[in-house]
């Protein structure tokens, strides 16, 4: 638990810096572009993520496990072949996809927005795809080698540069400037990042890896080296791809059912959730998932212990964030966006519950990839977005905009229940009862806060929320854990072992 917390502390520090700059950027974007502009930016970003996930064929996610495993087993030859092959594979697939989509711009526009519009912005956004795929691969390599500090430093650097360039071009050139600023920032930060990643890879492998020049790289290029990754990769592409697809379809449905203004006005509810859950899960998983991959086939007792620690830490971290964001939503939305986005406030209360359930699912499902159970994760990964979109369509006529977070909560609950059944019946893996108790009381705590803050006077709801958070912390966090956390934050425990 201590090493996991130390690694999470490093990436968690980067999380707060990233969050600060993302808040500043979101505020300026909201003021200058309004809800409609925010909706357009969200759709373009979502489509980019979908294409990146599909073009990488899920291999970028799968590489984390095998880099960690090959390094632990001393298989430098297999590791060199894997890195060279997957780098060229995703670079070529990303470039080919960009060229193909450029020829289909009107079709892409109709898919995203329901009509042919903003073709120039879509074309500029597509140029991000090749560099985004290779950058994601580089991040996965760092995670596989457990280069925690370098990964955290890059995330902060990229966030700062992207924020500065986006804001600088957004103010004079509005929406087009924002898209161009992000494009320039992505290529600039990635070029610098690749230099340090190559040095880190060479240092971990103890040899020079030539992957840029094709005459040299082709000596290590073997497509069959990707075969072990296919199970995990298929699960990743189906799960990640369908999640991105469902989000795009829901936003597109909102644009057509209402308009761009309404679709953008609720974006804070989705943005708050995506930013803090994505950054928190990345902060914790950067160390935990490679570590579990190392232990899965070598030391089962320690694997089971660290797996349970991972579940516990996920819930201990996300629950306070969910409660605080729910309590502060009425103040945060006008400050971080504007009053034009107040329609998102009731949705944030419900989404906070969904976020806790989502983290419980992520914690339980964390064992599947390290144990090579990609097919199981494939099924579970497909259930969440499919049920999410289906439930949303059913509830939309009755709940209107609230159908989005309610559908999210129900779909994650379904996935959590199925994951528990799989762990119990198919895998010889024990989850501590304390973790199930933590899942239950964390969910109940966020539900109580969400209901209180939405039904009662805001001041009373805030008081109840803070009291509930205090009771929850007292029940679930021991004095020893508080002291260890304080010592780590004060720097009394070394992180050099990471």
- Residues of the chain with pLDDT > 90, as a percent, come to 32
Per-residue three-class SS string for the chain: CHHHHHHHHHHHHHHHHHHHHHHHHHHHHHHHHHHHHHHHHHHHHHHHHHHHHHHCCCHHHHHHHHHHHHHHHCCHHHHHHHHHHHHHHHHHHHHHHHHHHHHCHHHHHHHHHCCCCCHHHHHHHHCCHHHHHHHHHHHHHHHHCCCHHHHHHHHHHHHHHHHHHHHHHHHHHHHHHHHHHHHHHHHHHHHHHHHHHHHHHHHHHCCCCCCCCHHHHCCCCCHHHHHHHHHHHHHHHHHHHHHHHHHHHHHHHHHHHCCHHHHHHCHHHHHHHHHHHHHHHHHHHHHHHHHHHHHCCCCHHHHHHHHHHHHHHHHHHHHHHHHHHHHHHHHHHHHHCCHHHHHHHHHHHHHHHHHHHHHHHHHHHCCCCCCCCHHHHHHHHHHHHHHHHHHHHHHHHHHHHHHHHHHHHHHHHHHHHHHHHHHHHCCCCCCCHHHHHHHHHHHHHHHHHHHHHHHCCHHHHHHHHHHHHHHHHHHHCCHHHHHHHHHHHCCCCCCCCC
Confidence check: pLDDT of 227 > 50: yes
- Read off the pLDDT of residues 7-44 as tens digits, 9 standing for 90 and up: 555 555 666 777 788 788 888 888 899 999 999 998 99
pTM of the model: 0.79
> Which of 421, 427, 415, 411 minimizes the C-alpha distance to 372?
427
The CA distance from 414 to 418, in Å, is 6
pLDDT at 232: 58
Q: What is the mean pLDDT of residues 144-168?
A: 84
Overall average pLDDT of the 74-101 stretch: 84
At 469 the pLDDT is: 93
Average pLDDT on 314-332 reads 90
pLDDT band (50, 70, 90) for residue 181? very high
pLDDT for res 496: 35
Q: How confident is the model at residue 270 (pLDDT cuts 50, 70, 90)?
A: confident
Token digits of residue 36: 């409609």
Q: For 359-367, what is the mean pLDDT?
A: 86
Most confident of 206-215, 258-267, 295-304, 434-443: 434-443
Say which residues have a Cβ less than 8 Å from residue 269's Cβ, sequence separation at least 6: 344, 345, 347, 348, 351, 404, 405
Range of 211-220, 240-249, 306-315 with top mean pLDDT: 306-315
Tell me if 475 sits within 8 A of 320, measured CB to CB.
no
Binned at pLDDT 50, 70 and 90, residue 159 comes out as confident
pLDDT tops 80 at residue 220: no
Phi first, then psi, for residue 213 (nearest 5°) are: -85, 120
Asked whether the predicted pLDDT for residue 54 surpasses 90, the reply is: no
What's the pLDDT tens digit per position in 63-76?
A: 777 787 777 777 77
pLDDT at 142: 80
pLDDT at 231 over 90: no
Residue count (the chain): 498
pLDDT exceeds cutoff 90 at 79: no
In angstroms, the CA 17 to CA 174 distance is 25
Dihedral angle, C-alpha 327, 329, 335, 336, nearest 10 °: 120
Angle CA(50)–CA(52)–CA(58) in degrees, nearest 5?
95
Residue 400 pLDDT > 50, yes or no?
Answer: yes
Given a cut of 60, whether residue 380 has pLDDT beyond it is yes
Residue whose structure tokens are 């950027």 = 25
Burial of 356 (0-12, 13-18, 19+ CB in 10 A): buried
Of 35-49, 145-159, 174-188, which gets the smallest average pLDDT?
145-159
Residue 85 has pLDDT above 90, yes or no: no
Q: What is the pLDDT of residue 494?
A: 37
Q: What is the structure's pLDDT at 275?
A: 74
Domain ranges for the chain, please list them: 2-489
Residue 298 near residue 269 (C-beta atoms within 8 A): no
Least confident range of 89-98, 120-129, 241-250, 321-330: 241-250
Average pLDDT, the chain: 81
Please give the pLDDT value at position 214: 47
Q: What is the mean pLDDT of residues 226-232?
A: 63
CA distances (Å), origin 139, targets 20, 151, 191, 493 = 21, 7, 13, 26
What would the pLDDT profile of 456-478 be if each residue is shown by its tens digit? Answer: 888 999 999 999 999 999 999 88
Q: Crossing angle, helix 129-144 and helix 76-103, to 10 degrees?
A: 160
Count of other CB atoms within 10 angstroms of residue 131: 23
* 389, 395, 401, 406 alpha-carbon torsion, rounded to 10°: -70
> How many degrees, rounded to 5, is the angle at CA 192 between CA 186 and CA 196?
130
Which pLDDT belongs to residue 14? 66
Distance (Å, whole) CA 179 – CA 8: 32
């Amino acid at each position: 638990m201590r090493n996991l917390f130390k690694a999470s502390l490093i990436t968690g520090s980067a999380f707060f810096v990233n969050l600060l700059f993302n808040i500043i950027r979101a505020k300026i974007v909201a003021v200058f572009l309004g809800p409609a502009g925010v909706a357009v930016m969200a759709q373009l970003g979502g489509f980019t993520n979908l294409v990146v996930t599909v073009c990488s064929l899920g291999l970028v996610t799968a590489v984390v496990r095998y880099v960690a495993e090959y390094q632990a087993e001393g298989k430098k030859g297999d590791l060199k072949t894997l890195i060279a092959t997957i780098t060229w594979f995703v670079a070529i697939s990303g470039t080919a996809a960009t060229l193909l989509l450029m020829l289909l711009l009107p079709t892409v526009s109709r898919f995203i927005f329901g009509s042919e519009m903003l073709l120039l912005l879509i074309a500029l956004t597509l140029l991000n795809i090749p560099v985004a795929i290779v950058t994601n691969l580089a991040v996965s390599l760092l995670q596989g080698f457990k280069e925690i500090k370098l990964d955290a430093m890059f995330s902060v650097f990229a966030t700062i540069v992207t924020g500065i360039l986006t804001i600088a071009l957004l103010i004079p050139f509005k929406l087009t400037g924002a898209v161009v600023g992000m494009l320039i920032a992505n290529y600039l930060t990635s070029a610098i990042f690749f230099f340090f990643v190559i040095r880190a890879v060479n240092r971990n492998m103890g040899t020079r890896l030539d992957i840029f020049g094709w005459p040299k790289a082709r000596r290590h290029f073997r497509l069959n080296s990707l075969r072990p990754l296919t199970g995990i990769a298929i699960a990743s592409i189906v799960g990640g791809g369908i999640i991105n697809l469902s989000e795009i379809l829901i936003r597109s449905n909102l644009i057509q059912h209402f308009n761009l203004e309404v679709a953008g006005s609720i974006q804070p509810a989705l943005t708050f959730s995506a930013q803090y859950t994505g950054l928190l899960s990345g902060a914790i998983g950067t160390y935990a998932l490679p570590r579990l991959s190392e232990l899965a086939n070598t030391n089962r007792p320690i694997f089971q212990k660290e797996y349970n620690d991972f579940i516990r830490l996920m819930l201990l971290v996300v629950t306070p964030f969910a409660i605080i964001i729910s309590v502060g939503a009425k103040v945060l939305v006008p400050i971080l966006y504007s009053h034009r986005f107040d329609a998102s406030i009731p949705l944030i209360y419900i989404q906070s519950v969904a976020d806790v359930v989502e983290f419980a699912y992520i914690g339980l499902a964390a064992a599947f990839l390290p144990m090579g159970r990609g097919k199981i994760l494939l099924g579970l990964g497909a259930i969440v977005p499919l049920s999410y979109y289906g439930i949303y369509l059913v509830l939309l006529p009755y709940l209107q905009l609230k159908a989005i977070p309610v559908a999210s909560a129900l779909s994650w609950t379904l996935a959590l229940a199925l994951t528990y059944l799989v762990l119990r019946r198919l895998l010889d893996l024990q989850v501590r009862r304390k973790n199930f108790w933590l899942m239950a009381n964390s969910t109940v705590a966020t539900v109580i806060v969400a209901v209180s803050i939405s039904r009662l006077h805001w001041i009373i709801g805030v008081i109840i929320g803070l009291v509930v958070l205090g009771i929850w912390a007292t029940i679930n966090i021991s004095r020893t854990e508080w002291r260890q956390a304080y010592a780590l934050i004060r720097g009394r425990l070394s992180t050099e072992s990471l």
